[in-house]
Structure 1
Amino acid sequence: MNVHKLIKSFGYALNGIVSAMKEQNMRIHIFSAFIVVIAGLVTGLSHLEWLALVIIIALVIGAEMMNTAIESVVDLASPEIHPLAKRAKDVAAGAVLVFALASVIIGLLIFLPKWF
């Protein structure tokens, strides 16, 4: 195993996270996750509830990062407006929306019974 290559690959991944944080939607997802974690700490969630929240937070953030990557590649490959480029970007954004809506539903299923 080449430790130097491994360390460099982690550096590239961290650069990707930092780059994604420049996107407005990513900052919204991170802020929402922060609020959910605070609410979870105040509410006193079970291990299983934390597991569900951590998984869905990771899925939403990961999907947003993939969306950003797809948008960047599409913009590089097709700087001009093209129907297929638009479709690729719209579908990637739609995938993020599906995960985000699922996260809201999961959050409601976890928090509402504890609060009301």
Structure 2
Amino acid sequence: MFFNFPPRLRALQAQLHRVRAEHTALCATLPWSTEPLPGWTTQESRYSSRGDVPPSPGYTPEQQVLLDRLARRLRRLTGVVMTDAFWQSVEREKVVAARMALERAHEPTAG
């Protein structure tokens, strides 16, 4: 199914992908807890599926600021993309397919 997305909407979706990737990359570097907390061993907690967990130093103020900034950008961009006027032009039963197509619009086409 082909949808003729406006360039502005495609650009916003691409920006949303970039910000989501930044957020994901940052989260992968953060300690497991936002606040300093002791760790535990699997012997201490029979419910731990992660094995031994080292103590968490918590997030630094800089990490928290960056995480909050990226989360705000994600929410704002998601809202702008989801409420774009383009969606009013799509038949109701095709909206989900159109949204899925927009999410993949940045991917190179085969052929």
What TM-score comes out, normalization by structure 1 length?
0.41
Task: Indicate the structure whose relative CO is greater, using CA pairs within 8 Å and at least 6 residues apart.
Answer: 2
**Larger Rg computed on CA atoms:** 2
Report the structure, 1 or 2, having the larger helix content. 1
